[in-house]
Amino acid sequence: MSGDACLIFSASSHPISSFAQSEMAKSWNVQLKCYDAWCGVAHGCSRKLGMKICGFLQKNNNLEEKIRSSKDLLDNSDRDSRFRRTETDFSNLFARDLLPAKNGEEPTMQFLLEVVDILTNYVRKTFDRSTKVLDFHHPHQLLEGMEGFNLELSDQPESLEQILVDCRDTLKYGVRTGHPRFFNQLSTGLDIIGLSGEWLTSTANTNMFTYEIAPVFVLMEQLTLKKMREIIGWPDGEGDGIFSPGGAISNMYSVMIARYKFFPEVKTKGMTAAPRLVLFTSEHQNRSPKQNATISIHSNNTRLHIHSHGVCLQGCVPMFVNATAGSTVYGAFDPIHELADICEKYNMWLHVDGAWGGGLLMSRKHRHKLCGVERANSVTWNPHKMMGVPLQCSAILVRERGVLSGCNSMCAGYLFQPDKQYDVSYDTGDKAIQCGRHVDIFKFWLMWKAKGTIGFEQHIDKCLDLSHYLYTKIKGREGYQMVFDGEPQHTNVCFWYLPPGIRDMPDGQEKREKLHKVAPKIKALMMESGTTMVGYQPQGDKVNFFRMVISNPAATRSDIDFLTDEIERLGQDL
């Protein structure tokens, strides 16, 4: 550390530069020189030179002498060049000059700090409502190459200067998912603690495989999963679980575990060891349970409309019921107690897909929507959705201990050695279908530490309050029509906006066809103007409608107002 005690740099792009170029600076020579000396260190002058200046600063009492001397030290380099970090410092540097290269420490630090400068500026702008959500370009435009931004890969290396330009451009042409007016997905927002957690996770760059290589993360995962099981309501938080790369894979785990539980021979003998199995899920499910039926069983066996069809036993064995807790489009919650009764009666596995709605368990006000979740055999819960944790962070939680590893263990000697010196029951690899497993826990654990359970509760309550505000605002308002009756259960508010030109048309095919085109058109205009983003889709026999979802902690009532104003402005003349 001591050697770096002189390292000072600028967080914004060229503050010193603009300062130096000001008229005032010219007449303020003494002060400017002094900054020069310090900035020289930060702006890529050699580490050795920086040290010399610092040492000098610390040894000399005379201000004038100090300034003259640092001026002398720096005279050989061009002054302007010292101010344009990227252009002068990185144009002759390459990846091969960074650590572990000899003398790579200084360029490495400079490069990382330059990247951080780009990122912190991006973070700042993300929360600034005067910044656009996106700067839209068509695929062919980006593929043809924007000025200085070429996506093609080549045999020869690019300079670090170009790499920094690429970083800036990548962000410039991307979408600010943390912007207060980004409502397009279930996962929105940019949580600063979560972000810090991800930065640390990348720096640690390890694997959740074994305690041996991820001791702290493995324990954090264990404790956090236990806490989640307590919140679900399983006695003493008993059970098992694991973080997986997303809700679809968590749901896949649930199907595999259920199949193993009822027909353990499937593990060794395959599907011939089981009869034809039936899975039930809601018509308004997320696509993943259906997809998992394709992977593990098959999709015709996923019976839709469980309530209207009842339990069907035509030569098949009903095995699994998926209760959706927060459907993707409507945010609807299946009645878990009723499904649990059916599962008990017919000895079926009850899975609760709370990928989207699981977060509501953190709120004393809203958790009743998952009433009965404690009766589930397994639960999918994605903190990366409603809880604002950076993607990816999804948990599969299992009530019964042992079935998760029973189902997935392959006892590969090269992965898990029982003769290690520590308690190998902490190794997680035999529970996972993955060998390499990304550390998804740390950002979540850190956010929980930093916010406390009450912080998550406040976030959930605030988002649901906002959606209530939107619902109340547009319900009955001229030009709006709600897609489903009644108050939304989650933050999903689904509505049609009818431009003045079609409001008074008689109901019928023509009106439907016109209305079907409204949301795509408004969305396209929104994206071109870059002001906000919200999703739309058709559903069943319903033509395209907007689905507003609020999980973004940066959103306020003014942003909701902005969205409706924008829809009305852009849709006015359609």
Q: Interaction with its own copies in 530-569: which residues (CB under 8 A)?
A: 533, 535-539, 544, 547, 553-554
> What tokens does 443 get?
């950002």
Q: How far apart are CA 30 and CA 88, in angstroms?
A: 25
The 3-state DSSP class for residue 351 equals strand
Question: From the list 83, 320, 349, 442, which residue makes contact with its own copies (rule: CB under 8 A)?
Answer: 442
**Binding flag, residue 100, its own copies (CB under 8 A):** yes
Considering only residues 165 to 184 of the shown chain, the ones binding its own copies according to CB under 8 A are 166-167, 169-171, 173-175, 177-178, 180, 184
Interaction mask 457-496, its own copies, x per CB under 8 A: ----------------------------------------
Q: Give per-residue burial for 417-439: e unless 16+ CB within 10 Å, then b.
A: eeeeeeeeeebbbbbbebeebbb
**Binding flag, residue 312, its own copies (CB under 8 A):** no
Burial class (CB in 10 A: 0-12, 13-18, 19+), 287: exposed
Residue type at 517 in one-letter notation: K
In the complex with its own copies, which residue's Cβ is closer, 40 or 247? 247
**Binding flag, residue 155, its own copies (CB under 8 A):** yes
**Segment near its own copies (CB under 8 A), from 80-88, 153-161, 331-339, 563-571?**
153-161
CB 78 → its own copies: shortest distance, Å?
22
377 phi and psi angles, rounded to 5 deg? -85, -30
**Segment near its own copies (CB under 8 A), from 45-53, 110-118, 395-403, 483-491?**
110-118
Interaction mask 59-78, its own copies, x per CB under 8 A: xxx-x--x------------
530 phi and psi angles, rounded to 5 deg? 75, 15
CB 44 → its own copies: shortest distance, Å?
13
Considering only residues 317 to 376 of the shown chain, the ones binding its own copies according to CB under 8 A are 328-329
In the complex with its own copies, which residue's Cβ is closer, 372 or 535? 535
**Segment near its own copies (CB under 8 A), from 17-25, 74-82, 333-341, 500-508?**
17-25
# chain residues binding its own copies, by CB under 8 A: 199
Question: From the list 391, 470, 474, 574, which residue makes contact with its own copies (rule: CB under 8 A)?
Answer: 391
**Binding flag, residue 192, its own copies (CB under 8 A):** yes
CB 515 → its own copies: shortest distance, Å?
13
476 phi and psi angles, rounded to 5 deg? 85, -5
440 phi and psi angles, rounded to 5 deg? -100, -10
Question: From the list 5, 312, 313, 371, which residue makes contact with its own copies (rule: CB under 8 A)?
Answer: 5
CB 122 → its own copies: shortest distance, Å?
6
**Binding flag, residue 144, its own copies (CB under 8 A):** no
Q: How far apart are CA 25 and CA 33, in angstroms?
A: 10
Q: How far apart are CA 293 and CA 312, in angstroms?
A: 17
117 phi and psi angles, rounded to 5 deg? -60, -45
Characterise 423 by phi-psi region: left (phi > 0), alpha (psi -120 to 50), beta (else): beta
Through-space distance between the first and last CA atoms of the chain, rounded to whole angstroms: 63
In the complex with its own copies, which residue's Cβ is closer, 219 or 311? 219
Question: From the list 92, 103, 300, 558, which residue makes contact with its own copies (rule: CB under 8 A)?
Answer: 300
**Binding flag, residue 163, its own copies (CB under 8 A):** yes
| Sheet containing 378-381, strands listed edge to edge, beginning at the edge strand earlier in sequence | 240-244, 394-398, 378-381, 349-354, 317-324, 277-281, 302-303
Characterise 383 by phi-psi region: left (phi > 0), alpha (psi -120 to 50), beta (else): alpha
**Segment near its own copies (CB under 8 A), from 267-275, 318-326, 344-352, 397-405?**
267-275
In the complex with its own copies, which residue's Cβ is closer, 115 or 341? 115
**Binding flag, residue 187, its own copies (CB under 8 A):** yes
Q: Which long-range contacts (CB under 8 A, 24 or more apart) does 556-559 make?
A: 556/180, 556/466, 557/466, 557/469, 559/129, 559/180, 559/181, 559/532
Residue type at 3 in one-letter notation: G
Considering only residues 408 to 427 of the shown chain, the ones binding its own copies according to CB under 8 A are 408, 410, 412-415, 417, 419-423, 426
**Binding flag, residue 8, its own copies (CB under 8 A):** yes
CB 229 → its own copies: shortest distance, Å?
13
**Binding flag, residue 7, its own copies (CB under 8 A):** yes
Q: How far apart are CA 39 and CA 28, in angstroms?
A: 17
Considering only residues 494 to 533 of the shown chain, the ones binding its own copies according to CB under 8 A are 517, 520, 523-524, 527-528, 533
Residue 2: CB atoms within 10 A of its CB come to: 5
Distances (CA, A) of 128 to 2, 120, 187, 390, 555: 37, 13, 19, 20, 12
Question: From the list 68, 148, 235, 287, which residue makes contact with its own copies (rule: CB under 8 A)?
Answer: 287
Q: How far apart are CA 253 and CA 432, in angstroms?
A: 9
**Binding flag, residue 273, its own copies (CB under 8 A):** yes
115 phi and psi angles, rounded to 5 deg? -60, -45
Distances (CA, A) of 289 to 303, 323, 355, 406, 410: 11, 10, 11, 22, 25
Question: From the list 72, 75, 130, 139, which residue makes contact with its own copies (rule: CB under 8 A)?
Answer: 139
**Binding flag, residue 112, its own copies (CB under 8 A):** yes
Considering only residues 195 to 224 of the shown chain, the ones binding its own copies according to CB under 8 A are 195-196, 198-200, 202-207, 209, 211-217, 219-220, 223-224
130 phi and psi angles, rounded to 5 deg? -80, -10
CB 210 → its own copies: shortest distance, Å?
9
**Binding flag, residue 4, its own copies (CB under 8 A):** yes
In the complex with its own copies, which residue's Cβ is closer, 216 or 482? 216
